[in-house]
Amino acid sequence: MEFEPSPEHRMIRDTVREFCESEIRPIAQEIEDEHRFPEEVFASLADLDVMGVPVSEAYGGLGGDQLTYALVTEELGRVSGGIGLSYAAHTSLGAKPIEAFGTEAQKEEWLRPLAEGDGIGAWALTEPESGSDASNMRTTAEYDPDADEYVLNGTKQFITNASVANSVLVKAVTDPDAGYDGISTFIVDPDDGFEVTTVWEKMGLNCSPTCEIRFDDLRLPADRLLGEEGEGWAQTMKTLDGGRISIAALSVGLAQGAYEAAKEYAGEREQFGKPIAEFDAIRDKIVHMYRQIERARLLTHKAATRYDAGDPVTKASALAKLDASEAAREVAEEAVQTLGGYGYTTDFAPQRFYRDAKLMEIGEGTSEIQHVVLGRELGL
Spans of all domains in the chain: 7-120, 122-231, 233-377
Q: What pLDDT does 129 receive?
A: 86
CA–CA distance, 351 with 358 (Å, rounded to integer): 11
CB 135 within 8 A of CB 183: yes
Query: Between helices 232-268 and 314-339, what is the axis angle to 10°?
Result: 30
Q: Is 219 left (phi over 0), alpha (psi -120 to 50) or beta?
A: beta
Q: Is position 8 annotated as part of the catalytic site?
A: no
Residues 183 and 174: beta-carbon distance below 8 Å: yes
DSSP 274-319: EEGGGSHHHHHHHHHHHHHHHHHHHHHHHHHHHHHTT---HHHHHH
Correct CATH for 122-231 of 3.40.50.170, 2.40.110.10, 2.30.30.90, 3.40.50.1220: 2.40.110.10
Q: What is the fold, at CATH topology level, of the domain defined by 233-377?
A: Butyryl-CoA Dehydrogenase, subunit A; domain 3 (1.20.140)
Task: Check 21, 268, 364, 377 and give the catalytic one.
Answer: 364
| Other CB atoms within 10 Å distance of the CB of residue 300 | 33
In sequence order, the 6+-apart residues with CB closer than 8 A to the CB of 107 are 59, 98, 99
Which backbone phi and psi does 152 adopt, to 5 degrees?
A: -95, 135
List the pLDDT tens digit at each of the 380 positions of the chain.
Answer: 456 678 999 999 999 999 999 999 999 999 999 999 999 999 999 999 999 999 999 999 999 999 999 999 999 999 999 999 999 999 999 999 999 999 999 999 999 999 999 999 999 999 998 866 767 899 999 999 999 999 999 999 999 999 999 999 999 999 999 989 999 999 999 999 999 999 999 999 999 999 999 999 999 999 999 999 999 999 999 999 999 999 999 999 999 999 999 999 999 998 999 999 999 999 999 999 999 999 999 999 999 999 999 999 999 999 999 999 999 999 999 999 999 999 999 999 999 999 999 999 999 999 999 999 999 999 99
Residue 1 confidence (pLDDT): 47
Sign, CA dihedral 324-94-141-176, equals negative
The CATH label, of 3.40.30.10, 2.60.120.10, 3.75.10.10, 1.10.540.10, for the domain at 7-120 is: 1.10.540.10
Is-contact 134 236, C-beta < 8 A?
Answer: yes
pTM higher than 0.85, yes or no?
Answer: yes
